Structure 1
Amino acid sequence: MLSKIACLRGASLPVVVAAGVWSVPAQAADDGLKLSGAVRLRYEAIDGQARVGFNRSDALLNTRTNIMAQYRTGAVLFAVEIYDSRIWGDDTGTPVTTAEVNAIEPVQAYVSADILAPFGQGSKLTVTAGRMMLNLGSRRLVAADDYRNTTNGYTGVRADLVAPQGIRATVLYTLPQMRLPDDPQALRNAKIRLDRESFDLVLWGGLVSKANMFGTAMGELSYFHLGERDAPGRATRDRSIDTFGGRVIAEPRTGRFDYEVEAFYQTGHVSASLAATAARQTVSASFVHADIGYSFAGGWKPRLSIELDRASGDKPGGDNGRFDTLFGMRRADLAPAGLYNAIARTNVMTSGIRLEATPGKRLDWFAAYRGLWLAARQDSFASTAVRDMSGRSGDFAGHQLEARLRYWLIPSRLRYEFDGLLLAKGRFLRDAPNAPAGRWTKYASFNVIASF
């Protein structure tokens, strides 16, 4: 069942490794060259844009093509993957950023190897070096975003350990790729320029998990440090953020309750603005996600769940309380990106209910409702940039209904996807001083994905 659960609970992409001194397999069944890829065509439209500064109504055609070449010889794997992300139909009021456009970019170019039994029988160490995509843990902090038209890439070294008794660990030191070009006209023209990585932006840390730690539930601990500083021609918030996290998750099983609880706390320092002379602020921010669900028996495999998310916002005072989701995905928990892109994991509190089902091998769908509030009423709401510094517009942002349907037109080769969303704006999104006019936001996207 490829659903919200699959998106959140999947392990990282197949990875990488540098050769070591321990014994490795002499021959792998899949030795040789392998080519794969996909082309996604998306038409999306919005009416009643909730974000500040963009067209009230808009439409956009997106294409995303990725081609991957892998060559394996024994325990060593070489891989290169090219992404090409472009748009058509934009105008001066269309939100066009590096989240939409990144032309002909080698997002991945790595070498990896498997090292068997470095810590006893049944253990395996995998080490990766080069450019890579990352999907770690719940993907709420470090992910290769899939709904978005572009993806996240990271350059560095990663090590993955599988040990006996259900223990897994990942450690990494990476330089997140800064997508280029990033000036508006070059983006709209889809200029080709290699993304840049440097020690001006660093992400390092890792996580460790153990299966069946609490009954059948897995326990996980994580820590990530993000370090950022100004570079020539690139002003930043000079972030130095430490994020500590913990997660407990019981996977869905037919006829059983399942659940997930994850919490993060952030500390460190950031600049109050992009100005070189901006004051430094102490970071104290938090995030929590919780859901409980039940999977019913039957051919449709329905699962009903109740969900809660809260990411802190910035309150008056000297500290920075706005949670930073780093490089996390948002689609599985909150809402689509693209032209909508209004709900992010920062200054938001939301609770809701979700129903998902897989009626057959070709078809899956979900529908969800959630209420939306501000965690801090003086801060801007999520990623809308709508703000009332007086706090007099209240903290209720609205009611959000969304649905997704996916159908394999040709199994494993051609899939159709529809995403639809309706936001009934609450008092805050109607009355805040800079809130875009209108009471409703309507969004839809139609996607065709061809894979080979």
Structure 2
Amino acid sequence: MLDGQARAVGPTHDFMWSHRAIVFAEYETGVVRVGGELRDARAAGERRNSTAGVAEVNSLEPVQAYLAADLGPMLAVGGTTSLTAGRFTMELSSGRQIATPEFANSVNSFVGAQLMWSGLGQDQLMAFWTMPGVRLPNTSEEILSNKTRLDHFSHALVLSGLSFTKAEVGAGAAGEIYLLRLNEHDTPGFPTRDRHLTVVGVRTARPPAPGKLDFEVELIRQTGHVRATARPDDLRTLRAEAYLIHAEIGRRGVGHGAVRPSLHFDLATGDDRDLDKWSRFDPLFGGPRGDFGPTSLYGAVTRSNIVSAGARVEVAPSKRTDGAFMTRALWLHSPVDSFAATGVQDRSGHSGRWAGIQFEGRVRHWIIPRRLRAEGGAVWLVKGRFLRDAPNVAYRGDSRYGYFDLTLSI
């Protein structure tokens, strides 16, 4: 349920029932595995001008259909190697560029091949060449009617990459470096911005442990070129140069129900006044939920044109129950670009950079362990000057969002 719109479009108040059914099966014959997954994601009850989209509706979609071979120690003695070909979901590193999000009703999937190697020391190497799917349906009328349309795959959109993770780089932390290449161009019925991006990311993280400091730092740089707009007749090409910084530090307590407080900082660049350059960070196929709160009808905060500092407290009083509360201060990186995923923009820059403060909380509880889980959460976005005064603001009041979710696993 949404009370108070944060986006530049959409109803001031909205409500939605959403549901998804996931059927996954895998048959293993020693070396070879054959797997498939069917996902039926639908929604009902939302307003006709709702912001519900492809992340909520993707009915009867075969998101996975693959053939995998376990090749044993092919690349090094003692390691394991697997090759997967077909259609599959994928997650890279922290999921900030490629993810299989749990909160979203539907997910991205990819057609291609993926090679995975794991060493004795848990070092990992991943290489892939894929065609990401364009999720369908993608028009408001088809989404409102839960129309069934298979996702679109084409050589016009290709994503390839290489990632290496070192399990121990010092102080109990793992280190990772990855390289991605995205190539995109128009096809009939699917206009694009012709993105040609090279992405380099480095990440180091020490996982939470009782009584010890933990941390995560990730730096991502995107370069290349893009078209100025997605209009087929717009042939202006801009130099792309954007970056992201994520840093967090925390400490988990000891004993039963230990609390973990943590501090967070995020920066994702926005576009500036340089007419020859595009500097807005592209979230690609990442999932914002872990850092920035719920998506769905809310989904206002994501990794584009944002500077944010915040604090989170996590608690797990039992094996069946856990909760978290987080507050974030939000600014625009560029005052002339639209803020995050809201579409709210002041091209003059006169509305400033202060977007507001977001308060978020959630609680999860296993009603039946490993079978039935309930989750509830809420967000309160106290809007700052920018989200109240920008020229295309749809609603000047604060945004409030709440949800309740039941998950049954069989």
Fold conserved between structures, TM > 0.5: yes
Structure 1 length-normalised TM: 0.89
- Equivalent of 1:292, from 239, 245, 249? 249
Residue 85 of structure 1 deviates from its aligned partner by 0.5
Q: How does 1:270-309 map to 2 (within 5 A)?
A: 270-278=226-234, 279-309=236-266
**What is the distance in 2 between the residues matched to 1:449 and 1:167?**
33
CA RMSD of aligned residues (A): 1.0
**What is the distance in 2 between the residues matched to 1:183 and 1:207?**
35
Equivalence for 2:279? 321
Residue 250 of structure 1 deviates from its aligned partner by 0.9
**What is the distance in 2 between the residues matched to 1:244 and 1:136?**
12
Secondary structure (helix, strand or coil) at the match of 1:358 reads: strand
Q: Could you report, residue by residue, the CA deviation over 1:36-85 in whole angstroms, capped at 9, with x for unpaired residues?
A: xxxxxxxxx01111001110011000011110111111121111100001
Q: How does 1:127-276 map to 2 (within 5 A)?
A: 127-276=83-232
Native 8 Å contact 2:100 2:287 kept in 1? yes
Residue 184 of structure 1 deviates from its aligned partner by 2.1
Q: How does 1:345-360 map to 2 (within 5 A)?
A: 345-360=303-318
2:336 is equivalent to residue 378 of structure 1: yes
- Equivalent of 2:45, from 89, 114, 118? 89
Range that drifts further, 320-329 or 71-80: 71-80
**What is the distance in 2 between the residues matched to 1:352 and 1:183?**
36
2:404 is equivalent to residue 446 of structure 1: yes
Give the percent of matched residue pairs that are identical in Structure 1 and Structure 2.
38
Equivalence for 1:310? 267
Structure 2 portions without partners, runs of 5+: none
Q: Could you report, residue by residue, the CA deviation over 1:249-274 in whole angstroms, capped at 9, with x for unpaired residues?
A: 11111111011100001100111111
**What is the distance in 1 between the residues matched to 2:47 and 2:240?**
37
Structure 2 length-normalised TM: 0.98
Native 8 Å contact 2:75 2:117 kept in 1? no
**What is the distance in 1 between the residues matched to 2:23 and 2:84?**
20
Native 8 Å contact 2:364 2:373 kept in 1? yes
**What is the distance in 1 between the residues matched to 2:225 and 2:298?**
30
2:287 is equivalent to residue 332 of structure 1: no
**What is the distance in 2 between the residues matched to 1:439 and 1:179?**
32
Counterpart residue type for residue 372 of structure 2: L
**What is the distance in 2 between the residues matched to 1:436 and 1:233?**
30
- Equivalent of 1:388, from 322, 326, 346? 346
Native 8 Å contact 2:344 2:393 kept in 1? yes
Residue 312 of structure 1 deviates from its aligned partner by 0.1
- Equivalent of 1:115, from 64, 71, 86? 71
Native 8 Å contact 1:430 1:436 kept in 2? no
2:318 is equivalent to residue 398 of structure 1: no
Secondary structure (helix, strand or coil) at the match of 1:142 reads: coil
Residue 352 of structure 1 deviates from its aligned partner by 0.3
Residue 212 of structure 1 deviates from its aligned partner by 1.3
**What is the distance in 1 between the residues matched to 2:149 and 2:337?**
36
Residue 121 of structure 1 deviates from its aligned partner by 2.7
Range that drifts further, 178-187 or 98-107: 178-187
**What is the distance in 2 between the residues matched to 1:390 and 1:348?**
18
Range that drifts further, 437-446 or 398-407: 437-446
2:54 is equivalent to residue 54 of structure 1: no
Of the two structures, which has the highest relative contact order with CA contacts closer than 8 Å and spacing of 6 or more?
Answer: 1
Native 8 Å contact 1:119 1:163 kept in 2? no
